[in-house]
Structure 1
Amino acid sequence: MNDVNENQQPEQPEDGQPRRAIRSFVMRAGRMTEGQQRGVEKGWPLFGLSLAGGLLDLDQVFGRQAPRTLEIGFGMGHSLLEMAQAAPEQDFIGIEVHRPGVGALLNGVLNAGLENVRVYDCDAIEVLNQAIPDGSLDRLLLFFPDPWHKKKHNKRRIVQPAFAELVRRKLRIGGVLHMATDWEHYAEQMLEVMSVAPGYRNQAADGTFIPRPDERPITKFEKRGERLGHGVWDLKFERID
C-alpha cells in the first residue's frame, strides 16, 4: 500500500533542536531482489529524478511535449508500468519511497524498453512544491494510500484541504485528480474534502463516486480488498479554475 500522509512542519522541543517533520510517507525497509537491485543500479541513472534538480522543465526531461501523469505512492510499480506501456504517447512520473518498489519499477521499465517514465524516491509533498511546475499535469493519481484507519491518526491522511489546493495548482485546467481506496471511511473523507475544495468539479454524475475507469489497472490491494469483502471507491475531480 502507498504509505502517504499529510506533511507537517517540525515541532520545536524545549531543547531547541527541531524534530523531524512528519512526512507524506512512512519509510519502509525491505530486502532487494536481484532484479530490483538491477533496476536501481542501471535504471536510476537513466530515469531517476532528484529534488536537487529544482523545478523541472518537463519538455526537456522527456524530450517532447505530451500529456503528463504523476502517481503518488506507486508501491511496487505494477500499475504505473502497465499504464506507461499502454500509453507510450504519454509521460509518467512516479513517486515512491519504498526502495524495493523503486527498483521493481525501474527494472520493469528497463525490461520493457520504455522511455516515458521518470521516478522520485522522496517525499511527495516536497516534489509537488519544489519540482512540479504549476499547471503542468494532466492527471495526478493517488491509488490506495495509507488509510491511517485509527481515528486518532486520521490527520495523517494525505487527502486534506491543503493537499487539494496544492494539487489544483499543479494540474492544468481540465486536469484530473483521480483517487481510489478500499477503505469506505477514507473514501467518504476524500469526497467530503474534495466536494468543498475550490476550483474542482466532481466527474461523478451523482456527485459521489465513479465506476472503476478502464485506465486504472486492478491492483493487488484491490484484489485483497475484494477477498476481505471491502468495496473499492474511485473519485475523479477535474480542475475547472
Structure 2
Amino acid sequence: MPDEQPEHEPTFRKQPVSFVRRSGRMSDAQERAWSELAPFYAFDVPRDVASTSVDTQARFDPAEVYGRRAPLTVEIGSGQGHAIVAAASAHPDRDFLAVEVFRAGLARTMLDADRAGAKNLRLIEANAPEVLATLLPEGSVDEVWVFFPDPWHKSRHNKRRLIKQGFGALAGRALRDGGLLRLATDWEDYALQMREVLDAEPEFARAFDGAPDRDWAPRYDGRVMTAFERKGLNKGREIRDLTYRRVARG
C-alpha cells in the first residue's frame, strides 16, 4: 500500500525560500562543536516536512529556554555569528537568538560563543519566516535584526528575497509593541525595496532616531563590522540602514 500523502502542503513551501541550502562539509572543529556544544546552544526544532521547516505546533518559550525573563534580540540570517556573538558578550543582561539555515555557520557561532563565555545566546537551524510566524510566541521579541540578507540581485531571483510584501506581518507578530526591526544592506535596489515594503506595512513606522523624514537610518552602532559589510565597502557599495518600530496593536 503506498504511503499516505499529507492532507495539506506546508504554507511556507508553496513559495520560494530565501536561500539555497547547498551541502557543504563541516571542518573537524565544526563537527566537534556541533557534537559538544549543540546540546546547550542549539534549540531542537520539531520539523514539518523539510529539514529546515518548523512544525506549526512547536513553540520556543524564551523564559524556559534561557531560564529567565530578559529582553530578547533575534538575528535572522546570522551567518558566521560575528554580530550576535559580539552583542551577546557585550550585553549579558539581554538574551539573543541566532536563526540560520547553514549548519557550518551555526557551528562557528557556537565555537565563538563558547570561547567568549556567552551563555545568553541560543541558535535555531530553520527557515526564518516559519520561526517568526509560529515558533516564537507573539510579542516576545524586543528586536529583530536582518543584516546583509542575500540580495538575490538578478531580477529573475528577486522573488526569493526575504524582505518582500508580507514580511512586516511576520516580524510584527513576533515583536512586542514598540520593538525594533533593524536592517542593513549594501545593495541599493534591495534597500529601496525594503523601504518601500516596510513603509507600506501597517505593523511598522519609521524609527530613524527621531528623524522620520530621513531616507535612511544612521548606522546601528551595535552592529560590528563583518566580512559581508567589508566586502561591500571594498567594492564601493554604500551601506544603507533602516530602523522600524512596531506600532501598538489595536
Q: TM-score, with normalisation over the residues of structure 1?
A: 0.89
What is residue 176 of structure 1 aligned with on the other side?
A: 180
Structure 2 residue runs without a partner (length 5+): 1-10, 47-56
Aligned to 1:18: none
Structure 1 runs of 4+ aligned residues shifted over 3 Å read: 7-10
Question: Quick one: which amino acid aligns to residue 98 of structure 2?
Answer: G
SS of structure 1 residue aligned to 2:142:
strand
May I ask how many residue pairs the two structures share in their alignment? 225
1:165 is aligned to 2:172: no
Partners of 1:203 and 1:238 within 8 A in 2: yes
Partner of residue 187, structure 1: 191
For the 8 Å contact 1:51–1:127, the answer to whether it is kept is no
The match for 1:103 among 104, 107, 122 is 107
Match of 1:222 among 218, 229, 238: 229
Q: Specify the alignment match of 1:48 in structure 2.
A: 42
CA contact (8 A) 1:69 1:139 kept: yes
Output the amino acid matched with 2:45.
L
Give the counterpart letter for 2:241 in structure 1: D
Shift of 1:8: 4.7
Give 2:246's aligned residue: 239
Counterpart CA distance in 1 for 2:45 and 2:12 is 18
Report what 1:121 is aligned to. Answer: 125
**Larger RCO, structures 1/2 (Cα 8 Å, 6+ apart):** 1
Aligned 1:19-30 pairs, distance under 5 A: 22-30=16-24
Aligned to 1:17: none
How many percent of aligned residue pairs carry the same amino acid? 40
1:130–1:199 distance in 2 versus 1, CA, 3 Å: closer
Q: Could you state the TM-score of these two structures normalised by the residue count of structure 2? A: 0.85
Q: Distance in 2 between matches of 1:162 and 1:112?
A: 37
Partner of 1:13: none
Listed as ranges, the matches of 1:85-96 within 5 Å are 85-96=89-100
Match of 1:4 in 2: none
Helix, strand or coil at the partner of 1:95: strand
Aligned twin of 2:216:
209
Return 5+ residue gaps in structure 1 as ranges. 1-6, 11-20
Counterpart Cα distance in 2 of 1:37 and 1:178: 32
Which amino acid in the other structure matches residue 229 of structure 1? G
1:35 and 2:29 correspond: yes
- Residue 169 of structure 1 deviates from its aligned partner by 1.1
Q: CA deviation at 1:199?
A: 2.6
- Comparing 128-137 with 33-42, greater Cα deviation is found at 33-42
